[in-house]
Amino acid sequence: MENVKVEICCGTACYLLGAANMMNIEDQLPESWRGRVEVEAKTCLELCERENLGGAPYVRINGTEIMAQATPDKLLTRIGELLEGAA
Ligand code: FES
């Protein structure tokens, strides 16, 4: 995949449960991924109100994929899978 779009929810629930730790994810990207990952902070993605998605903090990837209980490590792993085609 050429590029990955990452939307990090910064609504209250997600922020309190760790979204703040992901806001600098761009700084943690390996050199070869730089410029291929678009990161946006979003207001509540309205996923926290739904009980069956796994829990905040939530990240939306490429507009459709939802990552629940997201962490910087999980997010970097998934970005790598998408960019390197290992998914
Ligand atoms: S606060 Fe993140 S989905 Fe609502």
CATH number for the domain harbouring residue 45: 3.40.30.10
Q: Is the CB of 58 under 6 A from ligand 1?
A: yes
Could you give the number of structural domains in the chain? 1
Query: Which among 3, 81, 2, 75 has a CA at the least distance from the CA of 38?
Result: 3
pTM of the entire predicted model:
0.92
Ligand 1 within 6 A of CB of 53: no
Q: What is the H or E stretch that residue 83 is in?
A: helix 72-84
* pLDDT band per the 50, 70, 90 thresholds, residue 81: very high
pLDDT the model gives residue 3 = 94
56 CB within 6 A, ligand 1 = yes
| Cβ contact 26:75 at 8 Å | no
Q: pLDDT per residue over 29-78, tens digit each?
A: 999 999 999 999 999 999 999 988 999 999 999 999 999 999 999 999 99
First CA to last CA distance, the chain: 10
Atom of ligand 1 nearest to the CA of 19: 2
Say if residues 4 and 81 touch (Cβ distance below 8 Å).
no
